[in-house]
Structure 1
């Protein structure tokens, strides 16, 4: 009986050792680096290049076929973000739209000014006359005349310059027969540039008065 008990003890010890070794291997597999407990790969978060979501401003679809920008910083190519009909608070209008309309309402045209000047230029007279005609044909509408400047000069000076430009445009429209009570002049100075680049083209586009229907 003593010999049988010893054999039993030896077999039990060997079986216990095998179970312990098997359990250790299983634990090592679970804790292997880069693998979750359920066997799925772990995501590190620093070296993973997640693709942009469809329709994201940074996806290839929204940046265009080449994902390039034009010289004003607006995406070009098929599906470019600049081709979308977005307002200036929520996105960017196309470069072509901004060149033609500025921020003016449809039917009205922006008026541009010479450097450090607030007078209506001779080449802007046709635009002012067309704006006056449009406003007289839409007598139920009011208009906000927004004065802007380029970024050169102090903010205070540019704010005052934008106000003079807007006020001169308002008075010009009054002389063309538009009721003063339908219009108000405000200034943004340099704060709302339409073209943010620091070059002569952008400066010329930002020295502007827009006409916004209310």
Structure 2
């Protein structure tokens, strides 16, 4: 019993040495400076090297990388791509100068009546306004370049007003709707083909 008591500390020491020898030392990466950040400026833990790395799911469940790249100015690359896309002809044909939530409508030459094939776009716009009661809209009437400036301003106004009437009949409050006519002054396409003219005969819907 006395021999065991004397050997116990030795056994504990040997066991500790064996355990420690099996652990590899931690490697500490060298410090890397991140630009010339002012003292006292804390890095947001949600950002690492210009990328968003936290994505909170519903009710705080789960985290996943969003990884939206930023350019040298700190703008989101997705925002820049969207801005560039807005300048493409395909985007202009689909959205005109309307807000992204809204759709433009197109008119026949020298006409202000809403065409039957444009009714789904009007229903979409009216439904958005109904579902977002705080939203206000500016309806912009446009024409192609044929005809006098004065005539086209009047025609653009008629086009905006008939869209306004549609919204009122749908139940959208009058104070939420504003109209303006640009006539031929703001062509979306500057060519003189029938296709260019067709896309310039338009009413845009801009949320305010």
1:155-202, CA deviations, whole angstroms, 9 ceiling, x for partnerless residues? 000000000000000001111111111001110000000000011000
**Which whole-Å CA distance do the structure 2 matches of 1:200 and 1:107 have between them?**
28
Quick check: 1:104 aligned with 2:102? no
1:109-133, CA deviations, whole angstroms, 9 ceiling, x for partnerless residues? 0000000000111111111111000
1:55-78, CA deviations, whole angstroms, 9 ceiling, x for partnerless residues? xxxxxxxxxxxxxxxxxxxxxxxx
**Which whole-Å CA distance do the structure 2 matches of 1:190 and 1:180 have between them?**
26
Task: Provide the alpha-carbon RMSD of the alignment.
Answer: 1.7
Match of 1:115 in 2: 109
**Which whole-Å CA distance do the structure 1 matches of 2:160 and 2:193 have between them?**
23
Q: 1:159-170 alignment to 2 at 5 Å? A: 159-170=153-164
Normalization by structure 1: what TM-score?
0.58
Q: Structure 1 runs of 4+ off > 6 angstroms?
A: none
CA drift of 1:86 comes to: 5.5
Match of 1:193 in 2: 187
Provide structure 1 residue ranges, at least 5 long, that are not aligned to the other structure: 1-82
Match of 1:129 in 2: 123
Match of 2:165 in 1: 171
**Which whole-Å CA distance do the structure 2 matches of 1:84 and 1:145 have between them?**
23
Quick check: 1:144 aligned with 2:138? yes
1:18-46, CA deviations, whole angstroms, 9 ceiling, x for partnerless residues? xxxxxxxxxxxxxxxxxxxxxxxxxxxxx
**Which whole-Å CA distance do the structure 2 matches of 1:163 and 1:195 have between them?**
20
Provide structure 2 residue ranges, at least 5 long, that are not aligned to the other structure: 1-80
Task: Report the 3-state secondary structure (helix = DSSP H, G, I; strand = E; otherwise coil) of the residue aligned with 2:120.
Answer: helix
**Which whole-Å CA distance do the structure 2 matches of 1:188 and 1:96 have between them?**
22
Higher relative CO (CA 8 A, sep ≥ 6), structure 1 or 2?
2
CA drift of 1:103 comes to: 0.3
CA drift of 1:93 comes to: 1.0
Normalization by structure 2: what TM-score?
0.59
Task: Report the 3-state secondary structure (helix = DSSP H, G, I; strand = E; otherwise coil) of the residue aligned with 1:166.
Answer: helix
